Structures are given as C-alpha cells and as structure tokens.
Amino acid sequence: MPSLRVSIVTPSLNQAGFITETIESVLSQDYPNIEYIVMDGGSADGTLAIIEKYSRHLAYWESGPDKGQADAINRGMARATGDILAYLNSDDVLVPGAVQAIVEGFSLHPDAGVIYGATEKIDEHGCVVKPPFLTPYSKKLHKTLCLVPQPSSFYSRAAWEQHGPFDTSLHYVLDWDFLLKVEKTFSIVAIDTLISRFRVYSSTKSASGGWPRLEEIARISHKHNGFWNYNYLVYLALRLADRLEKKISFKSRPLRRLVMKAATTLRDGRTFMLHDNA
C-alpha cells in the first residue's frame, strides 16, 4: 500500500536568518513521501539565494509579490498534491520524526480533519523559552482559545477542500478561523508527541500585532460565536478602557490592566488568547 503523501508549504518574506533551519527541518524528515513547496513574497535579504541552494529538493518554489501570508499559503496549497497538508512558517521548525508521527496519527484517526501535536517555544537564537506543551482538544474551550499550535498542525485534504482556503483578509488568526470551520464537520485530534519548535521574538506578528491583532481576534470570535462570547466582550471592554484612559490622560494603563485581570480570572487562570495564541 503506497504511503500517504504529505505536502508542506512554507510562506516566506525576508527571513534569511531563519529559513535555512526551517527548510532543513523538513528535508531531514525520515518520512519518505513529502512534497515541499516554498512560496516567497519577493524577499530582498538573501532569502532567495538560500532557497535556490535547496531548489532541487523542492517540489516547487517561487518568489514574487503576493497579497500576504494567507494568499501565499493558499497558492501553495493549490499546487499541493498531498493527502495531508500543512504550512510551516519560515522561522519555525519541525522536530525529527514529526511527519512520521503525524501520518501515524491520521492512520489511527482516518476521519480526523486535523491532527496536531505538542510544540515548544524557542527564541531567535534557538534557545528554549517554554518547554514542550500540549493542550487536549476541547471544542468548548477552542471557541475562546486557539488550542492548536499552528506549526504542529496538519490537515486532511478533505478538511482543506471543504473549509479552505484561508481568508486572505486575515493576518493574525487565519489558522484559528479555519479550525473553527473544520471542527463543525470533522474531529480535531491531539497526539502526545512533540512536533515543532515555534519561534517567538519581538518582531513576530503575534508579539507586534497590537490593536489590529486584538481586533481580528474579536472579529473572528464574533463571526463564529456571536456577540455574547468571551473574546469579543473583552475586546470591547479593552477598547472602552483605552478611550477612557486617553480622555482622562492616564500615564499608566490602570483600566486596561483591570480588564485583563478580570478576564484572566474569568478564564480560571488559563492563558488568555488576546495575549498568547501559540
């Protein structure tokens, strides 16, 4: 019986400092049937020379202007022929044996729309800043908190064809929006295996998104869960607190801190998505 093909798409833009490690983490996997696609947005920092170095090992690659990360991934997925699909950002890495573990997961759960494993956070130097962690999937909790670490998640072709492509208007939570659609018709399964290393540093989108990121999280929460949902209501409270602080000319942020303290209490001490969606 032929092995399942796994297609991985890496979107990239000016990530010369990290993309070598990303590419090598995919090419060094011991699983025999991987299709690897790199979609570069027109990098000008040396990334192209790195991609060209590995080009003979890639199923496809291109470099040119795109409409953002979601657009690059969508176009890569459109070329992918795999039974299992994933995207890996150009600053994250897969651990050895990751793809084999994911394929085994789909073999055990053939009807799953998504299989995901644990991740660990690393900094720009590759040092671990948070050891491996995995949150068991809960449909109820997932409405508030993205439980699925993006670089550790792989999709069935059926799930992608039914619920993809990614919404190109989204920049921060495009994967969470997709997963909230997938969970309506497919199971999402966690496997207790380290799959990836997720890089965190000051210029990542999660760290530098500010209000646009918070607004996007709130918008997707409202879209899928209606008005009376945790993320949306907390976002409205934060916006109100921000306006009051500006009107009163507070030098610190006492009202926003109060809102976040109340929000964290409501979440029973869990990490609040507006702070951390890894």
The answer as to whether 272 is a domain residue is no
144 and 227 share a domain?
no
153 and 125 share a domain?
yes
57 and 148 share a domain?
yes
Number of domains in the chain: 2
The answer as to whether 278 is a domain residue is no
Boundaries of domain holding 158: 6-206
170 and 202 share a domain?
yes
Per-residue pLDDT of the chain (278 residues; tens, 9 = 90+): 568 999 999 999 999 999 999 999 999 999 999 999 999 999 999 999 999 999 999 999 999 999 999 999 999 999 999 999 999 999 999 999 999 999 999 999 999 999 999 999 999 999 999 999 999 999 887 887 788 999 999 999 999 999 999 999 999 999 999 999 999 999 999 999 999 999 998 766 655 557 788 888 888 888 888 766 777 677 677 777 777 777 777 666 777 677 767 766 665 544 434 334 33
116 and 87 share a domain?
yes
The answer as to whether 271 is a domain residue is no
98 and 187 share a domain?
yes
pTM summary value: 0.85
What DSSP string describes the chain? -PPPPEEEEEEESS-TTTHHHHHHHHHT-S-S-EEEEEEE----SSHHHHHHHTGGG-SEEEES--S-HHHHHHHHHHH---SEEEE--TT-EEPTTHHHHHHHHHHH-TTEEEEEEEEEEE-TTS-EEEEEE-PPP-HHHHTTS--S-GGGEEEEHHHHHHH-S--TT-SSSHHHHHHHHHTTTSEEEEEEEEEEEEE--TTSHHHH-HHHHHHHHHHHHHHHH-SS-HHHHHHHHHHHHHHHHHHHT-SS-HHHHHHHHHHHHHTTTPPPTTT---
Q: Which of 206, 240, 258 is the last residue of a domain?
A: 206
Question: At 42, which CATH number?
Answer: 3.90.550.10
69 and 19 share a domain?
yes
